[in-house]
Amino acid sequence: INNLNNKFNLGGVYRKPAGNNCLTDWKKILKFKEVNENCLIIGDFNAHHTLWNIVKILIKMEIFLMTAITTSRKCSALSCLILQNMHDYQDYLYKKRSNRISNKRTAWAQYATLMVEPFWEQNSGEMENLRDMEQIYSNFVKLMVRTTRLASGKPTEDNSIDGNGNKKIELSNKRQKQQVSWWDQECEEILRLRKNKLNKWTHTRDRTDFVEYKRIRAITRKIFKRKKKENFIKFCNSIN
């Protein structure tokens, strides 16, 4: 293709319906002689893959991913790559529909009732300047946070003060649960260590980190089993 006397190669890549694309597949494509020159690759890709726009992908040239104006985040939908001028880029906004955000402890019907009516009552007038709009948005955010806490049964600024005028301390659900009698500081530390090893292996995916996580998990199970046994023996000895 000749564009302003500058020749570049246009390559089309087909992604098969089943299977995953890995970094090795891209290495095979980028080894071609034509790719070393000015080249533009278009095709059907997964725009939200973690391999895009990272250092490992920038092997021999810069690769940019440009999506069309399409709701590509719906189920069974892929992004469309299009030709676009990088010097005159325009961002497109689209509405995202998803049911991933949910909370069973929140009464959403109550939230809708508490949210809509007070908002329109407080902001029924016209906006005269930008400051009025900013104030309305600030009130909207505060109302949204307060309404969510009310619908979720959590204390707000109104009911977070006790009878003595002191602020109530809100404990998390995990802290409110009563722990078993054999739980001690050693169990707390080994459990925290196991979580840290698991998070490290999840991010690195390294074999050494995986072996270390398996070792700590085995030690954790051994300690928990010993604590339970000692607690059971202590309970049996206490029976008259």
> Distance from first CA to last CA of the chain, Å, rounded?
93
From residue 47, give the alpha-carbon distance in Å to each of 13, 59, 65, 78.
Answer: 14, 19, 7, 7
User: pLDDT, tens digit, for every residue of 75-95?
Assistant: 433 334 444 444 444 455 555
From residue 103, give the alpha-carbon distance in Å to each of 108, 152, 202, 208.
Answer: 9, 9, 26, 37
**What's this model's pTM, rounded to 2 decimal places?**
0.31
What value does the CA radius of gyration of the chain take, rounded to a whole number of Å? 29
User: pLDDT, tens digit, for every residue of 140-193?
Assistant: 788 888 888 888 877 766 555 454 545 555 545 555 455 788 888 899 899 999
User: pLDDT, tens digit, for every residue of 97-129?
Assistant: 555 556 677 887 888 887 777 666 665 555 555
